[in-house]
Amino acid sequence: MSDTLLQVDSLESGYGEIQVLWGVDLAVSSGEIVCLIGSNGAGKTTLLKTVSGLVQPWAGSIRMEGADLTGCTPDAALHAGIAQVPEGRRLFRTMSVRDNLLMGAYLRPRKDPSIPRDLERVMTIFPRLAERANQDAATLSGGEQQMCAIGRGIMSRPRLLMIDELSLGLAPRAVELLSDALVEINASGVAILLVEQDVMTALELAHRAYVLDRGVVKLSGPSAEIEKSPEVREAYIGIT
């Protein structure tokens, strides 16, 4: 892979007096899909929130393309090229699919001529969104809502798209469609950091993987090697 895009070093963070991350090191290079796997409570969502500025770090550093983002605000992270698709999608209720997508471009100049082109691109990647452009986003199926949430992230023109729980609560066919879309998005030049409890889906999609356990990175490496790890196969895949 090419140059490092995101570099996280010795990161510690948590909530109140509860420490969740303990010295996490992680990197994502341009053109990569990297997955972060681990059980519930391992600290995966906290890591994404700390990178995107929603949770403040206690120690360590976060750099994006060499620029220091440690302790930055969420809008600064977005300006730096990091977009997060949150767990549960968090779409704007009562707003149409089209307006939800446009909310992803809110930091861009209102008359930016590339916004309509990006909107058309999102609807090309996700044809179902084009069919439902004027529909209340809250009435979409779970898979369609996830498409809308990912599309909203793309509308910010990120260089790194972070997705928290791609497949949560979705039917296998919806996961398949979303996975194909992520491959297409990645091929267009957007790096992806994917948090996913469906370990097989994550490892099939990603170039590299990190295994997070109780706030500590236990394993990292190429996805094919992580998938063969006896520890991972027993703990997360159910194969010994």
Q: What is the DSSP annotation of 193-228?
A: EEE-S-HHHHHHH-SEEEEEETTEEEEEEEHHHHHH
Tokens of 159: 């260089």
Phi and psi at residue 2, to the nearest 5°: -90, -155
* pLDDT tens, residue by residue, 132-177: 999 998 999 989 999 999 999 999 999 999 999 888 888 889 999 9
Give the strands of the sheet with 160-164, arranged side by side.
Answer: 82-85, 160-164, 191-195, 33-37, 208-213, 216-222
- The Cα-based distances of 49 to 44, 59, 99, 174, 219 in angstroms read 9, 15, 24, 25, 21
Domains of the chain: 4-237 (3.40.50.300)
In sequence order, the β-bridge partners of residue 200 are: none
Q: What is the pLDDT of residue 187?
A: 95
Residue closest to 144 by CA, chosen among 117, 172, 183, 178:
178
pLDDT in tens, 22-71: 999 999 999 999 999 998 889 999 999 999 999 999 999 999 999 999 99
